Structure 1
Amino acid sequence: MTKRRIRLIGHADTLIAMGGAFLAAAVLARVGGRIGLPTIPLFILAGILLGPHTPGVVLVEDPHELEMLSALGLVLLLFYLGLEFSLDDLKAGGRKMVLAGTVYLILNVGAGLGFGLVLGWGFAEALVLAGVLGISSSAIVTKILVDLKRLESPETKTILGIIVVDDVFLALYLAALQPILSKADGMGAALLDGAKAFGFLLLLALVARFGTKVISWLMNTRDDELLVISFLGAAVFVAGISDLFGVADAIGAFMVGLMLGGTTSGDRIRALVHPLRDAFGAIFFFAFGLSINPGDLPSVMWPVLAAVVLTIAMNMLSGIFSARVYGFGSLQAANISTTLTARGEFALILATMAAGAGLDERLSPFIAGYVLVLAVLAPLAAGRSHWLARILPVGRDKDKDPDQEKISVPA
């Protein structure tokens, strides 16, 4: 069946694509809300249905047309996450946070590397798969926490701590992996890139720790318009600088949120960023859907399913370990396990690197299928985590029955 393609002149095609993406996401989200489905998989489904790889109308011919809006969506999602996560949380987490994050990485990255070696696609491919299976999606995790109104749940700070540890590891891992895939520059260049990335993260952390008064003064204004322009400009600018230093742009935005969350304008910024976060976050997931070609998935169906089962198992083990470290019950362990199962934007970055390096052509459809399944499964599982809580070998909460969990925190 030939797809009908919308062709317009000048900027009209871009505007139609943007407007159509927003409307499609809104319509599917409303339908999903009526039947109890989370928004993330529906936004992705809208991108798949209106992209160039499925029958019907092609709203967006090239996913790169929405690349900048998608990047802005990711930046705003992580910026908001930083606003909700203070340096006091990091300090309070301390050794427990590092321990939980490290065990999460050992289980998931180790399982990913072993899985890649067993597949037999090649050693470089196994290194890519280690990162794909090992790193959770900060964007999807954030959206799950917001949608389920769990930002103030006791286990959320543990989840965010693990995400922070994961993202620091990711920055170093990407820097080390690039010269290996390109077969150039050697280990010295990899170590230098890793040192640059870590140094930049350390600089941002120091600014967040000691520069609060100066940042509060810079952001202090009674005009909401000026405040929006100021925090949006800071988040996007630092995100771009982060990318230059080998740190994921979203992590730079997270650090800006961390800086601004503790200022005198923090509460106003949280309120003002809500509509921007929701709108452009939807575009991020829509654009993700555009990149998926369902026709490529059957050829890698069994490896994808095996990887999904392996990831679920490793996340359950990690959730149980984290719950015991923090003294949580089975419900919190289940929430940690299911929420962190999501894979997304960082896996796609690795897929792009693998394609550019000329690695096994099965990697791209495998990563797309794996990410799609978990991007759909994680929000569904997180919303029903009390089912998992019944079977986890962790003590139950004394204060709550998992079936009666009710958390009412404004999103």
Structure 2
Amino acid sequence: MEHLCSVAQPFLNYINLSAIITATAQLWTTARAKSSFQPSANMAGFDLKQFYSSILLQLEPMLPDVGAQAVSNILWSSAKLGLNPDAFVPGMTDALAATMLQLTKDKAGCQPNAQQCANFLWAFASMGHQPADKGLIDAVCQHFVRLIKHRDVSKRPNAQSAANLLWALASLGHQPADKGLVDAVSECFVRLIKHHDVSKQPNAQEAANLIWALASLGHQRADKGLIDAVCEHFVRLVKHHDISKRPNAQGAANLLWALASLGHQPEDKGLIDAVCNHFVRLIKHHDVSKRPNAQGAANVIWALGELNHEPPDGAASAILERLSVLCALEQLGLAFTANVPLSGYWADAVLQPQDGVAAPVVLVPESYSGRFSNQEKRLTGRAVFRRALLAKQGKLVLIPEQELSRSLGDLADYIQQQVEDVTGDSLKPYIMS
């Protein structure tokens, strides 16, 4: 790829360069999704950062001519790659932002569309980049609202753009200058819920993201019916005959967390039970990648408490069991980081040595790391590989599923024994100072 780009360099314009960055992001994201581990920064001899930097340097002199689609694609792709243009070409991120700002004021038909506006702000939020021009975000949002009211229906935002825009504002911690903006975007979203064309209705993640954004922005509406409409749509998706349309665990947890944060009691009292029961089903899902992490379980328990809602039979014990490892570590007084992504897996916790000498200890429920054996005392080839990946992060403690259902005291004793066995020492180096 690098050789091809080098040969073609004299003929590449900003559209070509934007397309190269976008294609790279799509390929990299696909590789990450299909791999059991994160792609390395130099996968198969390909130096991503060096290649990305070379493309940006070619793009820099063309910035005055870049259009809205290219600006949006470059920033969106950079965010997907986990790279900020500023780190390679200082000032480029804000230069692209300034171009987008000018394009929102363009009268020659080159203004950004709704998806480009949403992707642009989503990229800033994902990169954690606060624009130098503080009026930029409001200008893009105002343009987005003008598109909501556009007489040409095809120019109006879809559900994904509406949800992404509010998610980006919440993630950036930006309160719009126009107080009616959040309401306008939310109302657009609800109209799409009622759309006669099912393909235009929001999916579960978009519904959860919108409610989460309203809660994170602290946006209280006089019209509580809007929130109920989004929640009712979410529950319809929970019961959808097509399993792929149903919410994931994070979406369910985020929705309940948002309702609690807003202090909103749904008019339909069965709504919370329906989401809770769905969350519990995901805890027991045969595909371990679909099970909630401990943070999601903690958010659900907190939300039920804040809403003063009695969970359905069996739900509380199932959710608390998901938190049992963290509770046991608290009882032992150990210093740890919860819900840590390691080599493509989620560790419930990593014990942090307080003496600066001992090795970290990674605690992973055995079922959450995949099946480790096909016969007693015999590991599968994949299990050997997975264990090796996890063990590189520190001493590895695998917790069998049956241990998670024991009393908290028994689980704490089990963890203490396992940690002492793998470290050959006491818990002292990991006791919270």
Scaled to the shorter chain, the TM-score interval is under 0.3
Question: TM-score, normalized by length of structure 1?
Answer: 0.26
Question: TM-score, normalized by length of structure 2?
Answer: 0.25
Which protein has the bigger helix share?
Answer: 1
Which protein has the bigger strand share?
Answer: 2
The structure showing larger relative contact order (alpha-carbon pairs under 8 Å, at least 6 residues apart) is 1
